[in-house]
Structure 1
Amino acid sequence: MIDVKVLREDPASVRDSQVRRGSDPATVDAALAADTARREAVGAFERLRAEQKSFGKRVSAAPKDEKAALVQQAKALSDDVKAAQARAEEAETTLDAALRRIDNLVLPQVPAGGEADFAVLKEVGTPRDFAAEGVVDADGAVPDHLAVAEGLRAIDVRRGAKVSGSRFYFLTGPGARLELALLGLAMDTAVEAGLTPMITPTLVRPEVMAGTGFLGEHAAEVYRLEADDLYLVGTSEVALAGYHSDEILDLADGPLRYAGWSACYRREAGSHGKDTRGIIRVHQFHKVEMFTFCEQADAEAEHERMLALEEGMLGALGLPYRVIDVAAGDLGSSAARKLDCEAWLPSQQRWLELTSTSNCTTFQARRLGVRVRGEDGTRPVATLNGTLATTRWLVALLENNQQGDGSVVLPPALAARLGTDVLAPA
């Protein structure tokens, strides 16, 4: 959630951020009203409690013949104090709920607009001319990842649907080995960069899911186990964010950096008919996710560091890609800024998001109670996340590295792990 001090001192900036996101600025006025009501309720409670303490001393010092009447007054005053405390606690709850309806404050450099209004920061590599190379099917189109994978016997969507329904799949033979090699490379990259490797839970409590911001506008994407009141994560970011919840961290030696490997689950609500072929948009996949807890002043530099690691992975795989600065209206509620890396998808002649890295400033840490101690007490830390590899990367690998005979040439970073330079049709 946002800092209530910023809300009080500069509500115009909070309204502006909401407007840039396309969110309702009225949430700011509601939070301001709730903050005023809370402060009034707390003030009334503290005045009554002070009066109660003073009256208690009077009762203690009163003559015996006056005490009975004073005790009755003290009892009535005690009832008033309890009622005032209840009103203050209710006002605190109302303010907390109002603050949680406000998205994180967008950083100034974030582009304005919606999904199509991103800024392209760079493009790296040149897409192959598949038509000139003759790597096309009978209709003159570049074979997509599923056609290539089925030739390799690497992906089986038919049996995935038979077992689990639409948007499920089996990775088989070389497909399974390719994913393990890819995620292993990502984890090794993370470890070499000083991140602590983690195998994370994929079921989390509601307060952890809510704390990371995934039960707001993204709630429809999340699977919930009603009988257990647990949620299946769509990214290990959730579990990693909760790892230090309600803790005071020691950041004297620098940021705490983790890399979580987990299965991920997404309902893909509202995406009917979109990317239904193959494994671009599925209900279950694997991912290696970076997560950092750091001082607020270090957050922007840490964001650039995460982006550099993502670009290093894409470079190691030889994929043509671009980096975009996501527009304010396309940010999730927790992100103050998000940078995406998109690889070229030859079969569809478009860019496909492979990674995202988000600076969430103190938004998640305030919700989860993650702090660091300073000279003036404790203060919330900043949190950041970024993807190093996920199952979707197989789409770009298979399509960009396919050959005319249906084989796929592996980049050296993966060939060394699989013990072969080429995956050939079965």
Structure 2
Amino acid sequence: METIPNYDRWQEVERLRAERNAVANKMKGKLDPSVRQALVEEGKNLKEALITLEEDLVQLSDKLQLEAQSIPNSTHPDVPVGGEESSVVRTEVGNQRNFSFMIKDHFQLGKELDLFDFDAAAEVSGSKFYYLKNEAVLLEMALVNWAISEVSKKGFTPLITPEIVRSSVVEKCGFQPRAQNTQVYSIENSDQCLIGTAEIPVGGIHMDSILLESSLPLKYVAYSHCFRTEAGAAGAATRGLYRVHQFSKVEMFIFCRPEESDKWHEELITIEEDLYASLGLHFKTLDMATGDLGAPAYRKFDIEAWMPGLERYGEISSASNCTDYQSRRLGIRYRPAPPESPPANAKKGKGAGSGPTQYLHTLNATAVAVPRLIVCILENFQQEDGSVVIPEPLRPFMGGLDVLSPKPK
């Protein structure tokens, strides 16, 4: 069979399908046996040609999908251009605490308060894993329950997501599970991955769906464990809980109409800032530069909190507007509602006034990345006697416990 250029494959498949249908229609009713036999042979030849072309088309579509995934989203015109160092401070909240004593980092505090065990975890699982113990378990649960409770008050629906997803969903969300230095754990001999963020399974919850405009925005607050390879990570920031392979996180996610995504991005940032300010943390919000956006993000704001024991600001959350980058790949659209009073000359009939379906915009933001907030709490609220004061908003979720105190030896 003659080789067909790639750009003509789809048209040729459609042509052969039409011919096959025409042959099938000709075979209806009474026919001379010789005519019927000729049509049977023609149909057989068309079927064989279609099988070959359709297999080629599937392979071509897969290659096209991979090529498309290498193209990042466009960027907001106000995004600073350059690397991470070009990012601009949007807001700064609070001040660095002045300590009148020699401070400790969270790693030392955690050991002295018997809150976690990295040595046993290294033997059981490997480096960058940990056991949380005693009050640290209560603190993790408190952070998760507090975040879900506060965000739910803003109209977000709580979710607990799957933590294993298909590789194709990871890719459609803008991540590359099999790229060099990937952060994604792929499961051997399967098409599945461990999630690095609940953004992925929440993004996929309405995959290949057409939603009603009246249902928008859809707002979710999702709890999950997250798994990251941290490929290439090194340095002092890897000490303790700052950079680990497994952690708990509460993630916010919004599906909305395109013209409203900037507004909902502002709401997500405000929720994040209100949460961390209520804990008494000192932090700054950064409008991240183009070189640090990642493939899906049209615009991204990171929040970096002061961690006195580590003597640095550390990222504790981000909020991204991904516009229609993910929804196009995931096949998530909405059908605009018909106008309340259609024009007098509007034609009656199916779909009148509703117009074509449109792709949604998606946004995501971190409410709580548990280990890094534990770092912030231990280091910022440590006392001279080695104890740590629990921020007031978390105390109801810890059975009223307000201080972590050293254990008697």
Taking structure 2 as the reference length, the TM-score comes to 0.84
Read off the aligned partner of 2:395 and give its amino acid letter. A
Question: 1:82 deviation in Å?
Answer: 6.3
- Counterparts in 2 of 1:91 and 1:321: CA distance versus 1, 3 Å: same
Answering whether residue 342 of structure 2 is matched by residue 380 of structure 1, we say no
Contact 2:216 2:255 in 1 (8 A): no
Task: Find the counterpart in structure 2 of residue 108 from structure 1.
Answer: 77
Please name the residue that 2:241 is paired with. 279
Which secondary structure state, in structure 1, belongs to the residue aligned with residue 365 of structure 2?
Answer: strand
2:306 match: secondary structure: strand
Partner of 2:383: 403
Map 1:310-389; keep pairs closer than 5 Å: 310-374=272-336, 375-389=354-368
* Alpha-carbon offset, residue 318 of structure 1: 0.6
Q: For residues 307 and 73 of structure 2, what CA distance do their matches in structure 1 show?
A: 32
- Name the residue aligned to 1:139: none
Paired letter, 2:363? L
* CA RMSD of superposed structures (Å): 2.9
Match of 2:106 among 145, 148, 173: 145
Q: 2:101 maps to what in 1?
A: 135
- Which letter does structure 1 place at the counterpart of 2:232? G
Structure 2: give runs of 5+ residues left out of the alignment: 337-353
- Cα deviation for residue 86 of structure 1 reads 5.7
More helix, by proportion: 1
Q: Distance in 2 between matches of 1:163 and 1:90?
A: 42
Q: Residue 393 of structure 2 aligns to which amino acid in structure 1?
A: A
For residue 271 of structure 2, what is the aligned residue in structure 1? 309
2-side partners of 1:227 and 1:208: how far apart? 17
Q: Which amino acid aligns with 2:89?
A: V
Partner residue in 2 for 1:117: 86
Q: Is the 8 A contact 1:38 1:92 kept in 2?
A: no
- Match of 2:67? 98
Shift of 1:306: 0.8
For 1:358 and 1:155, how far apart are their aligned partners in 2? 32
The 3-state SS of whatever aligns with 2:233 is: coil
Which residue number corresponds to residue 420 of structure 1? 401
Alignment of 1:228-239 (within 5 A): 228-239=190-201
Shift of 1:253: 3.8
Question: Which residue does the alignment assign to 1:196?
Answer: 157
Question: For 1:52-102, what per-residue CA distance to the aligned partner results, in whole angstroms no more than 9, with x for missing partners?
Answer: 778999999xx9799599757787677666666665555444433322221
Amino acid in structure 2 at the alignment position of 1:378? T
1:403/1:96 Cα in 2 relative to 1: closer, same or farther (>3 Å)? same
Structure 2 counterpart of 1:263: 225
Tell me which moved more, 157-166 or 386-395.
157-166
Equivalent residue, structure 2, for 1:288: 250
Assess if the C-alpha contact under 8 Å between 1:212 and 1:334 holds in 2.
Answer: yes
Change (3 A) 1:91 1:171: closer
- Measure the CA separation in 2 of the matches of 1:335 and 1:129: 37
**Cα drift, residue 404 of structure 1:** 1.2
- How far apart are the structure 2 equivalents of 1:78 and 1:223? 41
Return the alpha-carbon distance in structure 1 between the equivalents of residues 51 and 390 of structure 2: 70
Matched, 1:165 2:158: no
Cα distance in structure 1, aligned partners of 2:89 and 2:61: 43
Residue 182 (structure 1) aligned with residue 143 (structure 2):
yes
Letter matched to residue 123 of structure 2: K
Helix, strand or coil: the match of 1:389? strand
Please identify, of 369-378 and 254-263, the stretch whose mean Cα deviation from structure 2 is larger. 369-378
For 1:193, give the aligned amino acid.
K
After TM superposition, the structure 1 stretch with the greater mean CA deviation from structure 2, 414-423 or 335-344, is: 414-423
Change (3 A) 1:219 1:295: farther
The one-letter amino acid paired with 1:415 is: R
Contact 2:302 2:318 in 1 (8 A): yes
> Do the aligned residues in 2 keep the contact of 1:59 with 1:70 (CA within 8 Å)?
no
SS at match of 1:223: coil
**Against the structure 1 CA distance between its residues 80 and 279, is the aligned structure 2 distance closer, same or farther, given a 3 Å change threshold?**
closer
Equivalent position SS for 1:351: strand
Residue of structure 2 in register with 1:248 after alignment: 210
Separation (CA, whole Å) in 1 of partners of 2:326 and 2:364: 11
Contact 2:324 2:359 in 1 (8 A): yes
How far is 1:254 from its partner? 2.5
AA at the equivalent of 2:245: H
How many Å separate the matches in 2 of 1:46 and 1:163?
Answer: 56
Task: Give the distance between the partners of 1:151 and 1:314, measured in 2 at CA.
Answer: 26
Alpha-carbon distance in 2 for matches of 1:238, 1:74: 44
Whole-angstrom distance in 2 between the partners of 1:81 and 1:278: 58
Which deviates more, 384-393 or 268-277?
Answer: 268-277
Give yes or no for contact 2:113–2:406 (8 Å, CA) kept in 1: yes
- Amino acid corresponding to residue 196 of structure 2 in structure 1: G
Question: SS of the counterpart of 1:220?
Answer: coil
Query: How far did 1:270 drift?
Result: 0.7
1:234 and 1:221 map into 2 onto residues whose CA distance is 7
The aligned residue for residue 41 of structure 1 is: 9
- Please give the residue correspondences for 1:20-35 in structure 2 after superposition, counting only pairs within 5 Å: none
The whole-number CA distance in structure 2 between the counterparts of 1:77 and 1:165 is: 57
- 8 A Cα contact 1:292 1:383, kept in partner: yes
Tell me the secondary structure at the aligned position of residue 240 of structure 1: helix
Deviates more, 1:274-283 or 1:396-405: 274-283
Q: CA deviation at 1:146?
A: 1.4
